[in-house]
Amino acid sequence: MRALFYLLTAFGVIGLAIWAYDQNQKTQVAIRDVRGLRAEIRSLHEALDVQRAEWAYLNRPQRLRALAQMNFERLGLLPLQGGQFGQVDEIPYPLFGAAVGASPEDTL
């Protein structure tokens, strides 16, 4: 009886040691992963910053103006004019119910 108790205790200690070692290793792997992910996030952030800067650079008003002028024949873009403001009732709303078969209340 006593021998069995000792044996079981010994196995228990060995089992716990293996479990603790395993947890330790897993933790270290996780820490390494996190470090890698952080580095990746950082580099992605940097890449994002570059993209944002590039976007801003490509959309700078000076360049857009030049492009609008160069492609005027195709696009006919002009600066916004006051006369381009309209009233709400000038907008042709699609006819309610004609195609969908729904009542105006449903659509609204």
Which stretch in 9-17, 40-48, 67-75, 92-100 sits in contact with another protein by CB under 8 A? 40-48
Closest CB 74 distance from another protein, rounded Å: 22
Of these, 38, 70, 71, 103, which contacts another protein (CB under 8 A)? Answer: 38
Could you tell me if 103 and 96 are in contact, meaning their C-beta atoms sit under 8 angstroms apart? yes
CA 53 – CA 51 distance, rounded (Å)? 5
Of these, 5, 62, 101, 108, which contacts another protein (CB under 8 A)? Answer: 62
All residues at 6 or more sequence positions from 71 whose CB lies less than 8 Å from its CB, including other chains? 77
Tokens linked to 4: 């069995």
Of these, 1, 73, 79, 92, which contacts another protein (CB under 8 A)? Answer: 79
User: What angle is formed at CA 74 by the lines to CA 86 and CA 70, rounded to 5 degrees?
Assistant: 105
- The footprint of another protein (CB under 8 A) covers 38, 41-42, 45-46, 49-50, 52-53, 56-57, 59-62, 65, 79-85
